[in-house]
Structure 1
Amino acid sequence: MGNGGGQEETKKAGQWEERYRKYRSAVFAIAYRMLGSAADAEDVVQDVFLSVPDARPEGADDPIRHEKAYLSRMAVNRCLNLLNSSARKRETYVGPWLPEPLVRSEDDLPEEAAERGEAVSYAFMVMLEKLGPLERAVFVLRETLGYDYEAIAGLVGKSEANCRQIYSRAKRKLGDGAPVREPLGLEKQRSLARRFAESFREGRTQELVRLLASDAVLMTDGGGKVRAAINPIYGRDRGLALLAAMAKGSMKGARFEEVAFGGGIGLAAWQGDRLHAVISFDWSGEDEPLRNLFTIFNPDKLARIRPRLAGEEVVKDRT
């Protein structure tokens, strides 16, 4: 009797582990793109899989016979609840709220990398902040994950026609904006990031002028915890002034490391062994490539990002 119970528990544990291995990255992709936080997405993943009922024999009454759809619906519902509950916090947040970059780990498997969304640019994640929770869910599922409207309707509990309307409204809000995919290859991004780091550290203004687009936008996220610009900085001249203040102020003497952020190359700025900031770029072309520059100073967000950085092989700036 006792042995039979033990065998059943072992079987259930094996089913749970197999389900987790098979669908974890797909659930994470939904959660991260909806929430803009890798840490919160990981929490959703854990919550979803721990909440899955015990597996039953296949049949009409089996609630998880279509497992991926079932798990995806659970993830969407949890993300919608989190977004609705955090709406007021976002409204009272000091300065721009920037997503936490998805730092790629060397342990990520290729199939996981694809579903986790490495090809989705950080700039695109920033743009998604313009959307309401339901708009974001429909847009993410349709635009970045390729779900058809029938599947989306089942996941968000709306009709197909309603989902089409929600998607069209989201498209209008976002306009032409940032692309889903990074326009430049990783080697080109790496070269530009190095040029930026060297020019910033050495105060080479003319090189920064060549790197910044004339209509560049700089956004900094301090969350009211540390000093940062509380409004976006528009234009090359004002952007240069902000970069100069950062270079002479809190980021003076910072050591830069190149880091794989999602589908692109970003920078981690260290002061000794303390992670001071992470910088993400939106490159648009060869002549005036830097369209948007995003810098996270908020120590709460950095505390969540740092452990993944510590476990990743980064290319240190040795110049």
Structure 2
Amino acid sequence: MPDPTEDTATRVFADHRELLFSIVYNLLGNVADTEDVLQDTWLSWAPRCLAPEAGEIASPRAYLVRVAVNHALARQGAIRRRRETYVGPWLPEPLLTDAVPDSAEPALRAESISMAMLVVLETLTPLERAVFVLHEVFGYAHTEIAGIIGRAPAAVRQLAHRAREHVHARRPRYQADPRVQRQVTERFLAAALGGDLDALLRILAPDVTMWTDGGGRSRAAGLRPVHGRDKVARMIAGVASRAPEDLEVRYRTVNGDPSALLFSGDAPFAVMVIDLSPDGERVSGIYSVSNPDKLTRIGDEE
């Protein structure tokens, strides 16, 4: 006969799994690592629920978030060492986010921070990133975060201040209109894949930067970010000239932004996310992920 306590532990964890995934993905930027952390969280949660002497957990949500965040922080060292040997620029694994229902709570509807923001968050320390994500994205108070990461509230406020200054210096606050972003993305792809260099130069900001993450396994990726309109345009023209002839573009929402999914036949070829300049007129950042290992989820969900 099933143990009702075990059933309750499973149900409570399932009820919070989407929130936990969102938080941990924003801390790590990789689905496989996120799934591993959620597995570790379950292995901590289940025995605690089934221990008769442990007593009732007052807030399962708070308990699960604390355990998940600390498992994510413990994994950061291994992740950073792995990225030191990564070939070329490292970008977060793209996540399709247009399937999250409107009825979901805001933290789930905005399942991920934008690709551009995640790139900036990579430059923070693990604790700064945890504090920033929990406070700025998921709305946790500094006192709550202090309990989650085991630091004094004053230390958390200092971490939050440093992280906020660092992030805002590299990415000033502004929110692009999704319709404009979709329109500019379509114009950008039409110029890039159509070989229209003049149109491409018109749409790129003078200080545009392009990141291409192929993990050493894609000819469409460079070994370092490319800066400046002329260099980026030449790189895009070179990549487009070698692209498969059957390339198909599908427009979806990736990490909260209108984006382009490129397919060759039924196989995902690349995911391209653009970042707009504050005036919304030009492309200031291009994030292209073509590492096949990071496109598996895209292919499965299409």
Q: 1:259 to 1:236 in 2, by over 3 A?
A: same
The reply on whether 1:193 has 2:224 as its aligned counterpart is: no
The answer for the alignment partner of 2:198 in structure 1 is 206
Using the alignment, how far apart are the partners of 2:64 and 2:43 within structure 1? 11
**Maintained 8 Å contact 1:139/1:167:** yes
Using the alignment, how far apart are the partners of 1:184 and 1:46 within structure 2? 37
Q: 1:200 to 1:160 in 2, by over 3 A?
A: same
The reply on whether 1:266 has 2:266 as its aligned counterpart is: no
The reply on whether 1:20 has 2:20 as its aligned counterpart is: no
Residue 216 of structure 2 aligns with an amino acid whose one-letter code is G
Q: 1:113 to 1:210 in 2, by over 3 A?
A: farther
Alignment: residue pair count: 299
Residue 186 of structure 2 aligns with an amino acid whose one-letter code is R
The partner residue of 1:98 within 91, 96, 112 is 91
The answer for the alignment partner of 2:116 in structure 1 is 123
Q: 1:270 to 1:56 in 2, by over 3 A?
A: closer
- Measured on the aligned residues, the alpha-carbon RMSD in Å equals 2.5
The answer for the alignment partner of 1:314 in structure 2 is none
**Maintained 8 Å contact 2:275/2:283:** yes
Residue 218 of structure 2 aligns with an amino acid whose one-letter code is V
Using the alignment, how far apart are the partners of 2:292 and 2:101 within structure 1? 29
The partner residue of 1:238 within 231, 235, 241 is 231
Please list the CA deviations of residues 74-106 of structure 1 after superposition, one character each: whole Å capped at 9, or x if unmatched.
111111122111111112211111001221253
Q: 1:57 to 1:92 in 2, by over 3 A?
A: closer
Residue 115 of structure 2 aligns with an amino acid whose one-letter code is Y
Per-residue deviation, 1:62 = 3.0
Per-residue deviation, 1:157 = 1.0
Per-residue deviation, 1:279 = 0.6
Using the alignment, how far apart are the partners of 2:181 and 2:168 within structure 1? 25
**Maintained 8 Å contact 1:121/1:179:** no
The answer for the alignment partner of 2:240 in structure 1 is 247
Quick one: percent identity of the two aligned structures? 35
The answer for the alignment partner of 2:158 in structure 1 is 165
Please list the CA deviations of residues 102-140 of structure 1 after superposition, one character each: whole Å capped at 9, or x if unmatched.
21253x333447323347322111111111212211111
The answer for the alignment partner of 2:131 in structure 1 is 138
**Pairwise mapping of residues 1-319 of structure 1 onto structure 2 (< 5 A)?**
6=1, 9=3, 11-52=4-45, 53=47, 55=49, 62=55, 64-104=57-97, 106=99, 108-112=100-104, 114-116=106-108, 117-118=110-111, 120-178=113-171, 182-185=175-178, 187-227=179-219, 228-250=221-243, 253-286=246-279, 288-308=281-301, 310=302
TM-score by length of 1: 0.85
Q: 1:79 to 1:63 in 2, by over 3 A?
A: farther
Per-residue deviation, 1:291 = 1.1
Per-residue deviation, 1:72 = 0.5
Per-residue deviation, 1:144 = 1.4
Q: 1:135 to 1:245 in 2, by over 3 A?
A: same
Look up the SS of the partner of 2:38 in the other structure.
helix
Q: 1:96 to 1:299 in 2, by over 3 A?
A: same
Using the alignment, how far apart are the partners of 2:147 and 2:93 within structure 1? 29
Q: 1:282 to 1:113 in 2, by over 3 A?
A: farther
Per-residue deviation, 1:44 = 2.6
